[in-house]
Structure 1
Amino acid sequence: MFAGYFFFVIFSYYLIKPLREGIFLERYSSTDIPVVNILTLAGIWLFGMVYNHLHRRFSRLLFMLQVNALLFGFLVLFGLAFHFEDAFGRQPQMFSRIVALFYIWLNIFNLFSVSLFWSITNEVYPTSLARRDYGFIGAGGIAGGIVAGLVSWFLYTHLEVPPREMILVCIPFYLCCIVLPSVIIMAEQDRITTETGVPPGEKKGKSALGEVFDLLRRDRYLLLIAAVMFLKILSGTVFHYEFYSTLQRNVDKGFYTQLNNLVFLSVNVLALGINLFVTPYMLRRYSLQRSLSALPLLVVALSWFLLVDWFALIMVGGVVMSGLTYSLDRSAKELLYIPTEVRVKYRVKSFIDTFVYRGGSLMASVLILGMQVLGVEVVGNFILKLVLAGLWLAAVHAVIRRYNLFAAGSREGS
């Protein structure tokens, strides 16, 4: 059931994701994207305040229903706006603003729907079962992305469904993201706590986000999880920028889109295979540190390939890196939250998954822009990636030390 829930979360997002870039670039230029990304960060902050407030005040079932009702409500509103686009004929600026809001909202939709899924899963699953099942659950999400691509292709090419109608097509599928977690929460009531409200010792006047900052400030373990996420996004974004720059330099423009689609398909197929066959084995047989160290070590190797411009190895390595990101690394990262208390699983995790994630992406954009302005050469880029990968590995080592102490304490307490 968890794999099915994750399937529909990712399926819903990837069904409408192609519309976001296409319709945005019809009304705006690529130079407007950095501004929209900053506005997205503000939108994540606002939605995060609502998300944490709802978790603080309501039972798990009501909290989940209200968050999904917000996401579903905006999905319906944007679907109707795009369906009746002709009604904005005399107010084109109004529709352009709706397009920009849709671009921002879809990022929020993706980040919070995925974070909510993993929060519920981490609360229900004990560590022993998570090591066994998280690979298969993750495979459900990867399958959702693959199937969404096939469904979109079929609707576009055979049924000639306009891209703008894909949001309305998505609506019945997203209802599954409301029904399935409701069934899970009601079926797993013995494992799901009824904790709501302000914990003992906390000031009642403190905001939900204020509580998140207090938890991060007081608990080094949570700060280290945030550091791992931040450095992962920072390093990954810098690498992918150079990866696609290399792709553009070495591939004819007429073949670029086809090759990019092939890369995307290869990443999904590889991630599906890793989740089904490698992730369960790695998480059960080896330490969590090995699973979390795979990506930063791969970044070191790929940085060398970029330095010597080995195009074939860069292509293969880029696909492997993305495949590991969506499979083994994601499952291993989620295991870090299982020993934590409930408010960490929902409130702190959502902050790290959304705001810290976007913050890392924004910082990477600043770094890339700075390197372009300063004219940093290939060797300088190589050194930067090595430094980032080294910091990432150090953060992984530190968080695993805390995790082992945390997990041991949880076992003794039980």
Structure 2
Amino acid sequence: MSLLGVEAPALWWSLLYFFCLLTGYYLLRPVRDAMGASDDVLAVFPASLVQWAGHLGVSLGDFTLQVLFTGTFLCMVLLQPVYGALVSRYPRRVFLPVMYLAFISCLLFFYWAFREELPGRGAAFFIWVAVFNLFAVSVFWSYMADVFSNQDAKKVYGYIGAGGTIGALTGPLVTRLLVEKIGVGNLLLVSAAFLGACLFAILKLRKYALQREQRLRDSSGEQAMGGSVLAGLKLVWSDPLLRALAVLMFFGVGVGTLLYNEQAAIARRFFTDDAARTAYYANIDLAVNVLTIFVQVFLTRWLMRRYGIAPLLLLPALAILLGFSLLAASPLPLLVAVVQVMTRAGEFSLAKPARETLYTRVSRESRYKAKAVIDTVIYRGGDLTFVWLHKLLSSMGSHLVFMAGVGVAAGMTIGAIRVIRAQRSLPDEMPVNASVDPA
């Protein structure tokens, strides 16, 4: 049975997988954000770290997000070789389940930490959620590139993305309904149950990945891919397409980080009431999700099949460039909200599906190792760079922040153009287990 020209069960299991993954993550995100905004320094940081900072005359409460983003980046760098070793030495049927079992085990630990009110639980949980999100989503799309060909990806990635968006809507709703009734600790167990469903979907999708490999008369992706544990870093450095994707990711994250942090400052300035500020953020989230689902369902597939990835990468980049130019002249809350909606919806509905289809046309080592470097180390490196840049610029006013953002948006646009040019040399279909990308 086929749907949109692909195996219907493969599409439905992929939708379920991404829905459960993002539902599980967005169950955790409000807890993470609450920890990042907590006034209780000892709930966020270990007592020894608070005391050490105090001896230096530094109040950690004044630098909570900067310290948490720095810690997240350092964890990404340290975990990258561990992930590289896992995917090099073990076959897909081993390392995918192992990763999700590790995620579930971590949630069980945090369940205990929150119940016992362990000091420093906030920082540990904030950093872990950031690491979990990037690695889990990166591996999800790598696996999709094993299951679907390039032509199939153009047909279904928009719909799969919509399934994830529905999960992103469901997660906060479940949190809002349950957290006051069952507590934060038990909420983590609910998230663990959704990750268990992801693990089940991984096992059900395995046969479709094998069928695609058999159609290509390729060796089994169930075999360990081998290679260096640091191969991902080397590939990103040496391959023009991967370098361009890294540039696009770095500046794309920069745009989001500057906008997110300055939006928080503007919201505090214009909305002194907590309820009004919460409503402002809720309206933005609602608009982002509604626009994202509309574009994913009605436009993404049509644009990609008719014109390729170029409009999906360029339209969001140019819209952000225009938006930041307007904000540099007039940083009003309504305009900030409009640009935020354009930025996030454009990323989720257009830019990300376009980038992910490219990984169906590269080697497995690029798909799993290089992609993980871009989606984790480069991503969090951008976060780290621009969260401190915002700290430096914010004292000089919103106008200067958004003027700098125009330059960052220009860098994102240049990265998009470089990706479009570099992908033209790729074959339409790369053998699933090819170990080397084409010259």
Report the residue type matching 2:168 in the other structure: G
Distance apart, 1:168 and its partner CA: 1.6
Which residue identity does 1:315 align to in structure 2? A
Distance in 2, matches of 1:310 and 1:292, equals: 27
Does 2:254 align with 1:226? Answer: no
Asked whether the equivalents of residues 19 and 164 of structure 1 are also in contact (C-alpha less than 8 Å), the reply is no
Name the structure 2 match of 1:393: 413
Aligned partner of 2:102 in structure 1 is 70
| Alpha-carbon distance in structure 1 between the residues aligned to 2:128 and 2:90 | 24
* Equivalent residue runs for 1:132-171 within 5 Å: 132-156=155-179, 160-171=181-192
Shift of 1:345: 0.5
Residues 1:305 and 2:326 aligned together: yes
Moved more, 225-234 or 266-275: 266-275
Deviation at 1:305, TM superposition (A): 2.5
Which shifted more, 397-406 or 299-308? Answer: 299-308
- Aligned ranges 1:173-322 → 2 under 5 Å: 173-192=194-213, 193-194=220-221, 195-199=223-227, 207-209=228-230, 211-254=231-274, 255-306=276-327, 307-309=329-331, 311-322=333-344
How far apart are the structure 1 equivalents of 2:407 and 2:123?
Answer: 36
Instruction: Give the distance between the partners of 2:96 and 2:429, measured in 1 at CA.
Output: 30
CA 1:272–1:321 in 2, change beyond 3 Å: closer, same or farther? same
> 2:360, 2:429 within 8 Å by CA — same for their partners in 1?
no
Equivalent residue number for residue 423 of structure 2? 403
Shift in Å at residue 108 of structure 1? 1.1
1:117 is aligned, of 135, 140, 143, to 140
| Matched residue type, 1:41 | F
User: What amino acid maps onto 1:360 in structure 2?
Assistant: G
- Aligned residue for 1:204? none
User: 1-side partners of 2:390 and 2:96: how far apart?
Assistant: 38
Cα distance in 1 between the residues matched to 2:365 and 2:182:
43
| Letter matched to residue 5 of structure 1 | Y
2:55 alignment counterpart: none
Q: Secondary structure at the residue paired with 1:337?
A: helix
Does residue 104 (structure 1) correspond to residue 121 (structure 2)? The answer is no
Identical amino acids, percent of aligned pairs: 27
Q: 1:180 offset after TM fit, Å?
A: 0.4
Tell me whether 265-274 or 345-354 shows the greater mean CA deviation.
265-274
CA distance in 2 between counterparts of 1:295 and 1:247 reads 24
CA–CA distance in 2 between the matches of 1:189 and 1:279? 27
Matched, 1:34 2:55: no
Question: Using the alignment, how far apart are the partners of 1:8 and 1:408 within structure 2?
Answer: 31
Deviations along 1:112-158, one digit per CA (max 9) or x if unpaired, are 1111111100122111111111110001111011111222222246x
Q: Counterpart of 1:130?
A: 153
Would the aligned equivalents of 1:51 and 1:67 in 2 still touch at CA under 8 Å? no
Residue 357 (structure 1) aligned to one of 376, 379, 390: 379
Report the more deviating stretch, 335-344 or 36-45: 36-45
Report if aligned partners of 1:40, 1:108 keep a CA contact under 8 Å in 2.
yes
- What residue identity is the alignment partner of 2:149? P
Q: Deviations over 1:72-99 (max 9, x none)?
A: 111111113323x1xx6xxxxxx11333
* Larger mean Cα displacement after TM superposition, 314-323 or 270-279: 314-323
User: Partner residue of 1:92?
Assistant: none
Say if 2:271 and 2:277, in contact at 8 Å, map to a contact too. Answer: yes
Distance (Å, rounded) in 2 between the aligned partners of 1:221 and 1:388: 20
Could you say which residue in structure 1 is the equivalent of 2:22?
10
RMSD: 2.2
How far 1:370 sits from its partner (Å)? 2.4
- What whole-Å deviation, never above 9, does each CA across 1:24-60 have from its counterpart, x for those lacking one? 5232435233222212112222332222111101111
Unaligned runs of 5+ in 2: 1-12, 45-60, 214-219, 432-437
How many Å separate the matches in 1 of 2:342 and 2:102?
36
